[in-house]
Amino acid sequence: MTTERRYTVPAGDLVLHHYWISPYAEKVRCIFGFKRLSWKSVLIPIVMPKPDLLALTGGYRKTPVLQIGADVFCDTDLIARVLDAVQPDPPLFPDGTEGLCYALGAWQQQLFALAVEMLGLNGAPLPDNFVEDRAKMFESGLDVGRMIQELPAKRDQMRAKLDIIERQLADGRPFVLGERPSLADFSLYHPIFALRGLPAMSVTLDPFSGVRAWADRIAGFGHGTYEEMSSAAAVETARSATPQTASASDPGDPNARRPGERISVVHADFGRDPVVGEIVASSVHEIAIRRRDERAGEVIVHLPRERYVVLPA
């Protein structure tokens, strides 16, 4: 079994690159609140171009991104691991629930996709070029005509998924897995956050009183304490910092990858912009690659292994 690295950094060094209507960013913001963390808020554009963000990530364009000095963490599953290491109490995985939390997180992706499609087709306030921008993130693009045709089926699917969550909460438990909050709550909450943001869609939740009360509890954690920071200042923070990640190989890597190899990492399904660099450290759940940017200097970008494709550069 590969031992996971732990990151010991001051809470004040946490920088979140996000925008306020992003559901996945809300997942992380609520974790900040749950763990009573202080952080810096860097607002990024909803659509491309995102020059300051890409100076840090080297290509990864999705939201949110967590920055700690010159270390940059992509994907909320990995960000959750990092935040749980930064502030172990209260834990995101109480009572041995880590496996179940991540399994429910995968199921949540279906709920999120439904929520986004329904919002987009029901007048959510989005930039004019939002669909064109997001279509570029899929290998086969987006078929809006088909999405409109399938909207009644999406309503059926959304209702069924909300009912599953309602039944899970029906015994009076305050949180999805029991008496204590876990990553499962934050993962399942953020698509609900998206639905609640548009009056035309929030009525979808009306029949589900348990879901609505549970969502109120998650929202009640707040967002922690934050202060605004410009994206240019975040890039300068990376330039003036030294990456904290030490070289480490994964002896169990089935492909025998080693530090120093030049690779390309990209999400398997959504967001086809690769990050290219040389391996610094890897483990069963993470790969960290070093890249150099004209503006940000030497940066180490951290990505998950699950749902990502690692290829020789």
Q: Are 45 and 143 part of one and the same domain?
A: no
Query: Per the domain annotation, does 200 fall within a domain?
Result: yes
Q: Are 101 and 62 part of one and the same domain?
A: no
Evaluate whether 14 touches 38 at the Cβ level (below 8 Å): yes
Residue pLDDT tens, the chain, 313 long: 344 554 444 334 899 999 999 999 999 999 999 999 999 999 999 999 999 999 999 999 999 999 999 999 999 999 999 999 999 999 999 999 999 999 998 899 899 989 888 877 776 777 778 778 777 877 777 677 888 888 889 999 999 999 999 999 999 999 999 999 999 999 999 999 999 988 888 899 999 999 999 999 999 999 999 999 999 999 999 999 999 999 999 999 999 999 999 999 999 887 778 999 999 999 999 999 999 999 999 999 999 999 999 999 9
The parent domain of residue 286 ranges over 11-90+225-312
Query: Per the domain annotation, does 2 fall within a domain?
Result: no
Query: Per the domain annotation, does 4 fall within a domain?
Result: no
Q: Which residues contact 299 (CB under 8 A, 6 or more apart)?
A: 56, 58, 70, 71, 72, 238, 243, 290, 291, 292, 293
Phi-psi label, residue 69: left if phi above 0, alpha if psi -120 to 50, beta otherwise: left
Q: Are 35 and 63 part of one and the same domain?
A: yes
Q: Using CA atoms, how far apart are residues 117 and 194, in angstroms rounded to an integer?
A: 11
Q: Are 80 and 229 part of one and the same domain?
A: yes
Q: Are 98 and 73 part of one and the same domain?
A: no
Evaluate whether 165 touches 207 at the Cβ level (below 8 Å): no
Residue holding tokens 């897995």? Answer: 177
Residues 287, 290, 291: CA angle, nearest 5 degrees: 130
> Quick check: bond before 90 cis, omega within 30?
yes
Six token digits for residue 284: 């069963």
Q: Are 106 and 213 part of one and the same domain?
A: yes
Q: Are 30 and 65 part of one and the same domain?
A: yes
Q: Using CA atoms, how far apart are residues 64 and 43, in angstroms rounded to an integer?
A: 10
Total of domains in the chain: 2
Phi, psi of 95, rounded to the nearest 5 degrees: 60, 40
State in Å, rounded, how far the first CA of the chain is from the last one: 27
Residue 12's pLDDT is 43
Question: What's 260's domain CATH number?
Answer: 3.40.30.110
| End position of a domain, from candidates 203, 219, 235 | 219
